[in-house]
Structures are given as structure tokens and as C-alpha cells.
Structure 1
Amino acid sequence: MQGWIKLHRELLNKPIWLESTPEQKSILVTLLMMANHKEKEWEWKGQKFKAEPGQFVTSLEKIAFKSGKGVSMQNVRTAIKRFERYNFLTNKSTNKNRLITIVNWEIYQDVENEPNKQSNKQLTSNQQAVNKQLTTNKNVKNDNKKDKNNSRKQVYDDTSIYYQLAVYFFDQIKNNNPEHKQPNFQTWADDIRKIIELDKRTAEQVQYLMRWVQQDEFEMVNVLSPSKLRKRFDSLVMKVKREQPSKVTPITKHKEKQYNYGF
């Protein structure tokens, strides 16, 4: 492969970059560099195949190798799923290979339309399209007016502490009611983020209350979501103070221990 790609500085301010791990950032740039600039045709076992600009056929193993030392196939698998949620790419897989398509590749990687060949109007139009591509998808919106100065709705992968706490709370609820309907974990994770980031609670305090409310005969039927937990947090803490705190298993893999929850 030869040539170059455009990497816009605006990417530094976008959630797809800010919320990515170092491994995911390496994978993102690698995918851009692996994509075909021009239409490519080839023949294999007598059958013709064609890839459009922005597309390429590859494998998880090949992406991991090209992404560099420290990037595993599981890192690649998680990154691709995450980038799909951001509408950055589409992914069609077979038993051996997969077809990756960078969404709207031609908008910000078109080689034939360099800035010095464009009018100022066209350049501005293209830049706006780039910004829109990097920011717009159905999972990234502004929070409600109450939290608009301090928060934004994000996409959380399964390694996020907010997402893990959402799953943990659901598991506690299911212990009491196995038929409880599965929630939208993205919405739950965002509510938990607000508790921690905006209300300045610790993850350990949140986890403690999640377990405690599902062990309390009254609260187990009244606090069935992080939003309700947030709304009643202070009153629940007052109830906890009147009772002997119990030990909670941390989400992390560390040995179970007694936390100072700060209540």
C-alpha cells in the first residue's frame, strides 16, 4: 500500500476519539490506512470481486497485526463493534474474512479533490460534512437542559464502569425477579455517569446502594432504575446510616474487602 490519508484535527474533540482506549485509537487510524482509495478488482477461484473506495477485505488477525504491538484480536473485535455504533464503519463478516466499509469515505478522503483545487465555498462545505460525520449518530446527543452544561450523552462499551454498574444493578434486580424486563443499558449507564460525575458520588457508593435497595423489602420494588436511585440517593443514604452496612463485592477483580463508602 502506498499514498496517504487525511486525518482531521477535529477528530481530537469527538467522542469516538475521546472515549476510545489507546488500542482503539490505533485501530481506528489503521482502518483508515487500510481502506482502498480507488476501486479495486481481483479474481479468486474463478470469481471476480470488487471493493469500492473506502472498502477493504481483511481479517481480525490482519487488523491486529497492522495496528501494532499490544493490540489483540479481542481489542479489534471490540473496537469494530464500537465504531459501528458511532456509524464510522460497517462490517460484513464471513467464516474467514470481513468486508469493512468506512462510512462517507469520499467526503473527507477524496484524493481527486484537494483543497487547493476547490473554491472556498466547497472547502467549507466539505469541512462541515467532516464535522457532521464525526459527531452525528443516533447514540450521541445532548443531555436534557438540567445537565446541559456538565454532561453529554455518550455511547458506552462493556468495559465502561458505568455500563458495568448498569449490568450489576440489573443482576441485583433479577435476583428478586428473574422475569424483570431487560433495560436499555446505554440509558442506564448514562444515568449512572450523572450520579458519579455530576452528583460527585463514588462508584463504590453507587454499587453499595444498588445492592442494598434490592435487599430492602420496601425499596426493592420502588428503586428499579438508576434514575430513581439518583432521585432518592440522599434519602436512601439516610436509611443506610440507620442500619449496619454490609460488605459488597467490588466490580473489579480485586479481592473482596470492606470499603469506606463515605456515607
Structure 2
Amino acid sequence: MENQKTGFIPLYRSVLKQPWSKDVFLRTLWDNLLLNAARQPYTASFKGRQWPLQTGQLVTTSADLGLNLCDRNGEPASRHAVDRMLSFFEKEGMISTAGERRKGTVITITNYALYAQKIDNLPAHKAEHNGEHYPEHNKPSNGAGLEGDAAHNPAQIAALKPAHHEQQGNNNNKNIKRSSSENSGESSDTRLKKFLSAHPEAAIYTPNAAKWGNSEDLRCAEWLFSVVQSIAPSARKPNYAAWANDVRLMRERDLRTHREIAQLFQWACSDSFWKGNVLCPATLREKWLQLDIKRSKMRTGESVIRPKIDFNNTDWIEGVFDENLR
């Protein structure tokens, strides 16, 4: 009831089907952006300036957003980490940004109206069971994952059955599109066309489009294999679609840059231990934390070389015995 007094937004279940939703920080940041965006135009006072905001906009900084993204120890997320998350949302078409990162950034939620429709005279628990939290026909959310439009009145709700809209919500989800089309007997050519329509940036992909990457992902994958060839000239050419897919996953889900991927892979292939164990981007992603920790230790000189012991030298015995015991 308190939420209804201060305003609320619907959260659509289809967000759970988005790969990035498993990242707690991404999910929380997205929820915070939705909850703090302006419901109607107004002028905000922020850092000594007046900011005219439109519906679906908020003004903030990465540092301020990080203060609301804390780990279990209460440590807030860094400004750089928030910047990477915001960049991810921009690439997904979920937001757009304008302004200076530190002095104030205006963030605009794409299709915010789909998330903030007010449901008059309808309790929250009743709304959930009557299906208005499912998307309106043919209105996907540009990859945001929280697609949909709330129904506006009980008459609309009665006319739209929940089961039908659950299926419609699933169909609007990019990941579910493939499986639902396969179940309907859709041809592989049609599925491929739909995939390419949804991912025009795809430069390489497997026949079923389960694995893919853009041109930069592919370029990075080819460079990684050149590093492998430098230490193993007889290495067989890999499945570049799979390699590019792993690079893409590191970029999109783990928020790594292509430069960071290349640098850590090159270091691993030059390390005396790891160079025989990290020979593909999938392993790099799996072992990223261990690799990064060891590389950091070596950079700071934390790994100290133990001194050699001369067992024939008896100088250490001096001072061991008390003079009175001789």
C-alpha cells in the first residue's frame, strides 16, 4: 500500500529471461534507474544547477549511482564499474545519456512509458493476476528485457487473457523468439532472417545462430588465435563463431573490453604455468579471476623469491647458546 502512495512501476517477468539479469549489479542498477526516473516533466536541482527533465529522465553521476550498489560488506560500486554498466545499457538500446559523467549526466530511459503506466483503482496483487503486466501487442522494448505496456482500465484487462499475454511477453523476448519459432515449425531460413534482423551487427554466427559475435568480437578472436599459434604453430584453426561468442559474452556479461581480453590472454600465454592451460577464450573467461590475481601479484612484486640456504655455513649458531651454559 505504501508503494501505491508514493508511486510504482511494473516489473515484467520476461526480464528474468535476459542473460544479463543474472548479474545482481546490472539488475539493481536497472531497477534504480526505472524507479528514479521522472514520471512527468519537472526541473531538478542537482549539484547547484537546474536540470529540466522530461518524463523518463533523471540526472545523476556514476559515483552517486554506485553508492546505491553495495556489496555484502557495504562497499559501493566504483564509478568506473557503473560507467561500464551504463555503457552496456546504452549498447542494448535501453538508455541514452547526455552530459558530463562527473558534473551530471542526464539518463533517458528508452520507452519509459511502457514501464510507468499508472493503473487506476486496481490493487497491485489484483493487477498481477489479471494480466496487465504483460506487453501490449507489437511493442517490444528495444532489447531492454522489461518490455510491455500496462493495461489502462479493467475493461482492457478483462478482454485480454493472462495466458495469451504471457505467451506474447515471451515472444517479445529475443532469446525466446528462437525456441517459440522452432516449436511452430518455422523454417531455419526464417529463423535466421529474424536473428539477423534482431542482430544486424552480427558478423559471424553458427547455423542455428546460437553463437555469434560482431566484427570486433571476431577480430579479437582471430588475434587470440594468432597468440596461440605463436606458442603452438601446429594448433588447428578454431571455430571462430564459438570463439567470437565467448569474446562477446565476456564483453556483454562480464563487462570486459576487447583490450582487456587481449591483454590478459597474452599474459596468460606468456606465463610459465598458464600458457599451457589457457588456449581459448572460453578458458580465459572461466579462469579470469585467478589469472588477474596472479598477474596483479607479479606486477606489485608480491611474489618473493626465497633465499638459498647454505647448509655448510654455521654462522647462524652464534648467539644461540648462553655464555653461562658453555
Give the TM-score category using the shorter length.
Answer: 0.5 to 0.7
- 2:62 maps to which residue? 60
- 1:227 maps to which residue? 240
Task: Give the match's secondary structure for 1:56.
Answer: strand
- 2:29 maps to which residue? 27
Q: Confirm or deny that 1:251 pairs with 2:312.
A: no
Q: For residues 47 and 241 of structure 2, what CA distance do their matches in structure 1 show?
A: 60
Q: Is the 8 A contact 2:204 2:212 kept in 1?
A: yes
Q: For residues 19 and 204 of structure 2, what CA distance do their matches in structure 1 show?
A: 14
% identical aligned pairs: 16
- 1:83 maps to which residue? 89
Distance 1:25 1:43, change over 3 A: closer
Q: Is the 8 A contact 1:141 1:154 kept in 2?
A: yes
Residue by residue over 1:151-209, the C-alpha shift from the partner in whole angstroms, topping out at 9 and shown as x without a partner, is: 24468xxxxxxxxxxxxxxxxxxxxxxxxxxxx323446x68xxxxxxxxxxxxx96x5
Distance 1:257 1:211, change over 3 A: same
Distance 1:30 1:185, change over 3 A: same
Q: For residues 203 and 165 of structure 2, what CA distance do their matches in structure 1 show?
A: 24
The 5 A counterparts of 1:196-215 are: 210-214=226-230
Task: Give the match's secondary structure for 1:36.
Answer: coil
Q: Name the aligned partner's letter for residue 265 of structure 2.
A: I
Q: Is the 8 A contact 2:205 2:212 kept in 1?
A: no
Q: For residues 166 and 106 of structure 2, what CA distance do their matches in structure 1 show?
A: 26
Q: Confirm or deny that 1:17 pairs with 2:24.
A: no
Q: For residues 87 and 18 of structure 2, what CA distance do their matches in structure 1 show?
A: 18
Q: Is the 8 A contact 1:142 1:152 kept in 2?
A: no
Q: Is the deviation greater in 92-101 or in 138-147?
A: 138-147
Task: Give the match's secondary structure for 1:24.
Answer: helix
Distance 1:186 1:214, change over 3 A: same
Q: Name the aligned partner's letter for residue 82 of structure 1.
A: F
Instruction: Using structure 2 for the length normalisation, give the TM-score.
Output: 0.45
Q: Name the aligned partner's letter for residue 93 of structure 1.
A: G
Question: Unpaired segments of 5 or more residues in structure 2?
Answer: 121-149, 176-196, 244-262, 280-326
Q: For residues 127 and 40 of structure 1, what CA distance do their matches in structure 2 show?
A: 37
Q: For residues 33 and 7 of structure 1, what CA distance do their matches in structure 2 show?
A: 10
Q: Confirm or deny that 1:186 pairs with 2:220.
A: no
Distance 1:262 1:97, change over 3 A: closer
Task: Give the match's secondary structure for 2:98.
Answer: strand
Question: Unpaired segments of 5 or more residues in structure 1?
Answer: 156-183, 193-205, 231-248
- Across the aligned residues of Structure 1 and Structure 2, the Cα RMSD in angstroms comes to 4.9
Q: Is the 8 A contact 1:91 1:99 kept in 2?
A: yes
Q: For residues 4 and 91 of structure 1, what CA distance do their matches in structure 2 show?
A: 23
Residue by residue over 1:112-148, the C-alpha shift from the partner in whole angstroms, topping out at 9 and shown as x without a partner, is: 5753533435997899589748779646879756244
Q: How many residues align?
A: 195
Q: For residues 63 and 117 of structure 2, what CA distance do their matches in structure 1 show?
A: 28
Which structure has the larger Rg over C-alpha atoms? 2
Q: For residues 77 and 57 of structure 1, what CA distance do their matches in structure 2 show?
A: 14
Task: Give the match's secondary structure for 1:41.
Answer: strand
Q: Is the 8 A contact 1:143 1:153 kept in 2?
A: yes
Q: Name the aligned partner's letter for residue 101 of structure 1.
A: T
- Per-residue deviation, 1:101: 0.6
- Per-residue deviation, 1:79: 0.1
Task: Give the match's secondary structure for 1:93.
Answer: strand
- 1:169 maps to which residue? none
